Amino acid sequence: MPTVSVKRHLLFQALGRSYTDEEFDELCFEFGLELDEVTSEKDIISKEKGEEKAKGASETVLYKIDVPANRYDLLCLEGLVRGLQVFKERINLPRYEKIIPPQGEVQRLIITEETVQIRPHAVAAVLRDITFTKERYDSFIDLQEKLHQNICRLRALVAIGTHDLDTISGPFTFTAKAPSEIKFKPLNQSKEYTASQIMDLYRTDSHLRHYLHLIESKPLYPVIYDSNGVVLSMPPIINGDHTKISLNTRNVFVECTGTDLTKAKIVLDTIVTMFSEYCAKPFSVEAVEVVYPNGKTHIYPELAYRKEKVKPELINKRVGISETPSSLAKLLTRMCLKSHVVGNTLEIEIPPTRADVIHACDIVEDAAIAYGYNNIQMTVPKTYTIANQLPLNKLTELLRLDLAAAGFTEALTFALCSQEDIADKLGMDLSATKAVRIANPKTTEFQVARTTLLPGLLKTIAANRKMPLPLKLFEISDIVVKDPNTDVGAKNYRHLGAVYYNKSPGFEIIHGLLDRVMQLLEVPPNKENGYTIKATEGSAFFPGRCAEIFAKGQSIGKLGVLHPDVITKFELTMPCSALEINIEPFV
């Protein structure tokens, strides 16, 4: 969950009253938020860098509030205060208005076809006659950073640029050029750099270096120019210094470029709705015309309102309450979802600030929050169940205890391994293993899901070769194999694996462990209704030293002395015997 830091005195000033820390914590809970911490800048620096570094830092009290990840409208002081004030019914929900200037006066953003392969989408808007103070400016910048970290996915999906409109002139052009052809003075720098030099400049920057990979491998870099060739920004890296906004800025041009148009529209709507309250005409936003490469045009921001209809019975049933339709409409209106009763249904208006409402269940959740989770009466369910341990897990736990009592040490190894581990090192062909492959493995160590427990146990022994002999290890875990008969195309099996590593193979030790396991499972050593072993051959085992285990009328595994080639490939130097069986038939 994102955490929003707000100065307590500014928050209380905006709310029009003061709260104790406990009272505000309770208010946050009622609204579906959580007051995570009450701290100050000095306390934060003191914890992170020590008291010496914290000297002189501000002692202004900060509230750190945890906000749901999909509530982009609560990521700044303005949205938080607006939401709380509507919730407490101190103000009415504002109506956001899109103003389209007369023909010829509307700002235009032209997208060229060069951007298609890099960042194909762009949207824009203008905040006209806005008044900034130091606190408002800081909140404006902080909201952009919060959105970049959240919905923008570290600028991969959307990058935000804000510019002083009075320093530039439209129409604006969003295009892409070779790095050597782009030259401008980046934000807060003293001289001009080419795009390539800018990438080198910020390679060591603690903040911006995380975004360089988004475009550095591309042949063309995205860039936005005004009609005079002034660079506004090189998204998603840096804005130009020429268009830098300040406390004296009165008209702000907001552009959002990205790879996801839906996310870009949500981000633009969020920024302009949060800060349009500081415009000369509150909650009004000047529209911008975006021209696409194919000649089509679209007006942004959309600031779209939409209507949803929900049955009151659905809300009452899902939440577990029995409120009247008018009462439910009032609850939803407190959550910034203006509602009224139409016939026997609720008609809910979803404002542009509530991009998180995409289904009736989101409306039900807001009704539950407004009603108050603590106010919902606890009732005994009409049906009840008694929880019980899964039989397979219960058997696994019982076997673990007894195998440990038999002198074996439990190992827990990775469920993913390399292709070599389950094929080449065990003398098998990969196609014969029925292994489930990882589509985009980050490392060669995790290419496939294991089809046997043996490689993990042998690698554990290899990592503990300096321990006193003998080494006796076991593991009871799942293996995964392809199975076209299942809905997901693969199936898990619970296997028991054990290895004995010493100067002599110790086949009798492993055979004895098998007998002990069968004794615990109450499976007698006979052919009719018990278990038997039969000589066989296995690629991982020494010829003539391998047996197949049969029980419950089926083959359940193998035991034997490992082949010297297998031992060598796992970097071991002494003989080793192993056992692996499927325990699911015994459940």
pLDDT digits (tens, 9 = 90+) for 79-115: 999 999 999 999 999 999 999 988 878 999 999 999 9
User: Who's near 64: CB < 8 A, 6+ residues apart?
Assistant: 3, 4, 5, 35, 36, 37, 38, 39
Instruction: Round to the nearest angstrom and report the end-to-end CA distance of the chain.
Output: 42
Query: What's the average model confidence in pLDDT over 233-243?
Result: 92
Same domain, 66 and 214: no
- Whether residue 113 sits in one domain with residue 216: yes
Residue 462 and residue 525 share a domain: yes
**Same domain? 82 vs 195:** no
Residues 108 and 209 in one domain: yes
CATH of the domain at 566: 3.30.930.10
| 141: in domain | yes
What are the beta bridge partners of residue 501? 471, 576
Of 102, 233, 93, nearest to 175 (Cα)? 233
**For residue 275, is it within any domain?**
yes
**Based on the structure, what is the number of domains in the chain?**
4
Query: Can you tell me the distance from the alpha carbon of 562 to that of 66, in angstroms, rounded to the nearest whole number?
Result: 56
**Residue of 334, 279, 273, 332 whose CA lies nearest to 302:** 273
Residue ending a domain, choose from 71, 88, 105: 88
Give me the domain span that covers residue 523: 391-586
- Is the pTM above the cut of 0.85? no
- Least confident among 46-60, 150-164, 274-288, 545-559: 46-60
Q: What's the whole-number average pLDDT of the chain?
A: 91
E-strand stretches of 311-394: 338-342, 345-350
Q: Identify whether 382 is part of a domain.
A: no
- Same domain for 103 and 234, yes or no, is yes
CATH code for the domain in which residue 38 is found:
3.30.56.10
Using one digit for the tens of pLDDT, what is the confidence trace for 528-549? 888 999 999 988 999 999 999 9
- Is residue 383 situated within a structural domain? no
What is the model's pLDDT at position 442?
82
pLDDT of residue 370: 92
Task: Say if CB 305 and CB 352 are below 8 A apart.
Answer: yes
Please determine, for residue 382, whether its predicted confidence score (pLDDT) is greater than 90: no
Check whether 557 has a pLDDT greater than 90.
yes
Separation CA 458–CA 423 (nearest Å): 14
Residues 236 and 133 in one domain: yes
Residues 113, 225 within the same domain:
yes
Cβ atoms of 577 and 507 closer than 8 Å: yes
